[in-house]
Amino acid sequence: MKPKRFGPSLYGTNRFGMASSSPLHVAVIGTGIVGASAAHFLAAAGARVTLLDASGPAAGATGASDGAVSVASKRPGPMMDLARHARAFYVRNEREGLFRGLFHRRSTFLIARTAIEADLVAQHGGDLAAAGERVVEIDRATLLKRIPGLGASVCAALEIPDDGHALGYEITERLLQRSRVSVRRNAPVSEIVMRAGRACGVAVRNEFLPADAVLVAAGIGSAPLLGLGEILLPRKGQMAVTDRATAGGPAIDGHLMAASYLAAKRGIVRDNSHIGLVIDPLMTGQFLIGGSREDHRGDHTTDAVTIAAILREALDLYPPLAGRRVLRSFAGVRTASRDGLPIVGLHPHRTGVVIATGFEGDGICLGPFMGASAARLLLGERPEADLSALSPQRFARVEAHV
């Protein structure tokens, strides 16, 4: 059964009983990349937006992630397809001005260092091609010309030339600037207030903030608000940032993604000590190197044993990093769902509540598009892509059978 659409009725029966002349008022919980995007597109459509965050803009995973806008890294299936929509959304908004100067096209190189890894990379390349993605086979000699200094163990690679790069906190800042929606910082929402089965506002500490509809885009903070403690889990990722290898522009001509990362994304390896290696050349000339995937870890600490393990992997793949210095280490907490897919859509039984969370490590890629899609759902419009695979309804159904 498809979830019932509440959208068209929002204007007609808002809590003031006013006609459609009164603008829709949405409370957006969470000022990460998804919430900021939703707020921007809601405001652009004429809605009134109250934008809240328990801390501040980009305080969660948005501000503690690499900047891969990558289809190459996605699990085959709906995620790969949606990532293609989301990346196209970046391309369009960079062209039209919203993301100008913040999104950069660059290749992703999927890199194998053993025969087994080469099989995995080939299989993943096949899945990408089947999804319509351009995939270029690249031999070691050509690859060495593109990325001089690559390690001796690198034996096979694929280039995904249409991927890109954007920093989550820069995108968030741009969306906030353009929309002119002001953020209420240090405003933790304790409850979505319901009246007669539909949302009528949110409670921040002891204050009631009225709204016609509520978007929950609060990352792992969404769990207590929605009772999703069994469905959402924190997955910590530790990363390191180096000093600049070049004065301006990326130090190497693409994003290096080891097969170990694909293995984790495809669910082949599930181990808190597993390193899914990526080497992300930042626009500043620095490298961002990650990362770990530590389930049920919601803290932001980093430990030397894990960072050292990441660096050893990185040195094996790209030895010139030995000449760099680590400036800082940090950890981001990804919000993963139990079945590995994000949760985006109408709340199964709370009318007026839309959910957009559970993006795991794909929030920078998917975030702006998903925020815009959530805005459309709130406005009673159809999203640009089929989001049925992400519907919260799938968990409601499971719950009902238990």
Partner 1 sequence: MCEAPILVVGGGPAGASAAASLAEAGLPVLLIEQRDQLGGAIHRLPAPGNASHIWRPARHRRNWARLTARLQAAAGRIETHTQTVFLGVDGQDRFLLDDRSKGLVFTRRLRAAIIAVGAVETIRPFSGWELPGVMTAGGAQVLLKETGRPLEGPILIAGSGPLLPAIAAQLAKAGNPPVAVLERGRPWNAPGALARLALSWAPMSEAATYAATLARSRVPYRCGATVTQAEPDGDGLKVGIRIGEVQEFLHVRHLLIHDGIEPNRTGIPFPEPDADVPVLLAGDGREALGADAAILDGHRAAMQLLTRLGRANRAAASDERGLQRARDFQANLARALHSEPVVPAPETVICRCEGRIYADLATLAEDASAREIRLMGRFGLGACQGRFCGPMIAALRGQPLPVTTPPRWPLRPVSVAALARLTTDETE
Specify the 3-state DSSP secondary structure of 276.
strand
Closest to 60 (Cα-Cα) out of 300, 339, 318: 300
Both tokens of residue 58? 């980009």
Q: What is the CB neighbour count within 10 angstroms for residue 129?
A: 13
Smallest distance from the beta carbon of 173 to partner 1, in angstroms? 5
Which residue's structure tokens are 């004429």?
46
* For partner 1, the closer CB: 154 or 307: 307
Both tokens of residue 362? 């794909």
Q: Is 329 in the site for partner 1 (CB under 8 A)?
A: yes
* For partner 1, the closer CB: 215 or 321: 321
* Contact residues for 131 (Cβ-Cβ < 8 A; gap 6+): 71, 76, 80, 81, 84
Smallest distance from the beta carbon of 297 to partner 1, in angstroms? 10
Specify the 3-state DSSP secondary structure of 18.
coil
C-alpha torsion sign, points 112, 113, 118, 119: negative
Q: Is 242 in the site for partner 1 (CB under 8 A)?
A: yes
Closest to 298 (Cα-Cα) out of 359, 220, 364, 360: 220
Specify the 3-state DSSP secondary structure of 86.
helix
* For partner 1, the closer CB: 330 or 395: 330
* Stretch binding partner 1 (CB under 8 A), from 118-126, 208-216, 264-272, 329-337: 329-337
* For partner 1, the closer CB: 6 or 318: 318
Q: Out of 137, 295, 303, 399, which residue is the one contacting partner 1 (CB under 8 A)?
A: 303
* For partner 1, the closer CB: 54 or 120: 54
Q: Is 63 in the site for partner 1 (CB under 8 A)?
A: yes
Site for partner 1 in 74-133 (CB under 8 A): none
Site for partner 1 in 151-170 (CB under 8 A): 169-170
* For partner 1, the closer CB: 260 or 391: 260
Both tokens of residue 117? 């890894």
Specify the 3-state DSSP secondary structure of 70.
coil
d(CA 228, CA 390): 15
Q: Out of 15, 91, 173, 283, which residue is the one contacting partner 1 (CB under 8 A)?
A: 173
Q: Out of 140, 145, 300, 397, which residue is the one contacting partner 1 (CB under 8 A)?
A: 300
# residues near partner 1 by CB under 8 A: 37
Binding positions for partner 1, rule: CB under 8 A: 55-59, 63, 169-170, 173, 185-186, 242-243, 299-305, 307-308, 311-312, 314-315, 321-331
